[in-house]
A and B are shown apart, each in its own frame.
Chain A
Amino acid sequence: MKERIKQGIAVVKKVEVKELDFGNDTDLIEEVGLTSIQIMNLIFYLESEFNIIFDDDDLDLENFQTINNIEKVVNKQHV
C-alpha cells in the first residue's frame, strides 16, 4: 500500500516516483513540499485508487501528513 500512496504523491507533484526519496514518516508538507492543493488532489487520488470515500471527520491534515498516517486512515475506511 505504501508504494501506491507514494505513486499518488508522484502524480500530484507531477514527478516520477523514482525521484521521491524520503521515508514513511517524512512530513509531506514541511519536508516534501506538498501544497494544500496537492494534498487535496492526493486525497481525491487515494479515494479513486483504493475505492474508498473518506469520512469528512477524517479529512484532517494530520492524517495526510506522512505515508504512515495515510496508510492508517486508508485502512480505517476499509473497516
Chain B
Amino acid sequence: MNILVTGGISSRIGKNIVGRLLEEGHTVIATYRNDISNDKLPQSERLHTFKLDISEEADVKDCFNHFFNEKALPIDTLINNAGTNVGGMLTQLKTKDWKEMIDTNLTGTFLMCKYFSKYAARRKKGQIINIGSSAANGNLPYQGGYNASKAGLISLSKTLAVELAPYNLRVNIVNPGFIPSQLNQFSEAKEIEETEKSLLGIKHNLSNLVDFISFICADSLSGVTGQEFNIDSRLNK
C-alpha cells in the first residue's frame, strides 16, 4: 500500500506510525512543514518525503499532483495526523493562535481530504484516516481552540464519509488517548494526572494506537466507514 502521513516526521505519533508502516512493507510518504535533518529520518527506500504546509491550498494541490501524476505513485491511504495546539484560556487566546489551530487542524485537513478525494475517486478506491483527539468530545480547559478544531474534524470526517461512499472511498476517525508530546504541553504532573485517569493505570497508549493504524492500513476494515475509534483506557477525560 502507498500511504501518505501528514506530520509524519516531526510529531511523535507521526514518526511512530511511519516507522511501523515501513516495517510492514508499505511505501510511505511523510510530509513535514519545517525542515529537519536527514539523519533523523528512518532509512528506507520506501520512504518519500514532501515539504508541505497543509493549510496552503497550492502546496496541497502540488503534493497530490506530484505523487499521483508525476511520480505515478497513487496513494491508497491518507492519514491526516498533522496538528497544532496553542494553549490558553479562550478569553485570553490570541486571535492569531486561534486561527493557526483552525487553519492547520481543520482547514488543512479539509484541503488534504478534498484533493486526495479527487484523485482517489478516479481509482474508485482509497481511505482517509483522520487523527482526532479525545479533546473533541470533552471540555478540557485551556485548549479551547484545539478542542473546537478537533470537534470540527469529526463532523468533517463523517460528512465526507457519506459523500465519498459512492466512490468507494472510506473515511474514519481515530482518537488517540493521552500521549505525551509537544502538542499537549507535556509535563510530569500532567502524565501523573492522566495515568491516574487510566482505568488500567498506564501512562499512554502509543503502541496500541500504532497497532490500530497499522491494522486499518492493511485494509482490514474494508467494510467500515464514517466511524470514530477511541484508543484509550480513560472514561473520564
The CA of A48 and the CA of B120, in the complex, are separated in Å by 9
Name the residue on A nearest B123 (C-beta).
A48
Interface size, B (range): under 10
In the complex, A53→B123 CA distance in Å? Answer: 15
Task: Point out the residues of chain A lying under 8 angstroms from B118, CB to CB.
Answer: 44, 47-48, 53
Interchain CA distance A41-B162 in the complex, whole Å: 12
Classify the secondary structure of A's interface with B. Answer: helix
- Flag whether B121 is at the interface (Cβ < 8 A): yes
**Residues of B with C-beta under 8 A to A44:** 118, 121, 167
Complex formed: what's the CA distance from A47 to B116 in Å?
12
CB pair B122 A53 closer than 8 Å? no
B61 located at the interface, meaning its Cβ lies under 8 Å from any Cβ of chain A in the complex: yes
A24 within 8 A of B: no
Cα–Cα, bound, A48→B123 (Å): 9
Check if A51 is an interface residue, CB within 8 A of chain B: yes
Within residues 26 to 64 of chain B, which ones have a CB less than 8 A from any CB in chain A?
61
Interface flag for B142 (CB, 8 Å): no
Of chain B, the residue at the smallest CB distance from A11 is B166
CB–CB B121/A53 < 8 A: no
**B122 to chain A: which residues have CB within 8 Å?**
48, 51
User: Can you identify 14 A-B contacts, CB atoms within 8 angstroms?
Assistant: A41-B166, A44-B118, A44-B121, A44-B167, A47-B118, A47-B121, A48-B118, A48-B121, A48-B122, A48-B167, A51-B122, A53-B61, A53-B115, A53-B118
